Amino acid sequence: MKPKTIITSILLLFVAASVVYLVLGEIGGKRDAELTPAVVMPDEPTAGAPDSSAPPGETLTTALPAEKASPDTYVNVYYFHGNYRCISCRTIEMYTREAVNEAFLTEMGDGSLHLKVLNMQDPKNEAYIDDFTLEYYIVVLEKVVDGKRVEWKKLEGVWDLYNDKPAFKKYVIGETRNYLKGI
**pLDDT tens-digit series, residues 26-65:** 555 444 434 333 333 333 333 343 343 444 344 444 444 4
pLDDT of residue 22: 65
* Chain mean position to CA 3: 39
CB-based contact 61:104 (threshold 8 Å): no
In the chain, domain spans: 3-180
Just give the CATH number of 3-180: 3.40.30.10
> Of the given ranges (11-25, 28-42, 92-106), which has the lowest mean pLDDT?
28-42
pLDDT of residue 70: 67
Helix (H) or strand (E) holding 78: strand 74-81
Looking at the predicted structure, is the pLDDT value of residue 109 above 90? Answer: yes
Band (24; pLDDT cuts 50, 70, 90): low
Instruction: Give residue-wise pLDDT tens across range 71-95.
Output: 789 999 999 999 999 999 999 999 9
E-strand stretches of the chain: 74-81, 113-119, 138-145, 148-154
Q: What is the mean pLDDT of the chain?
A: 79
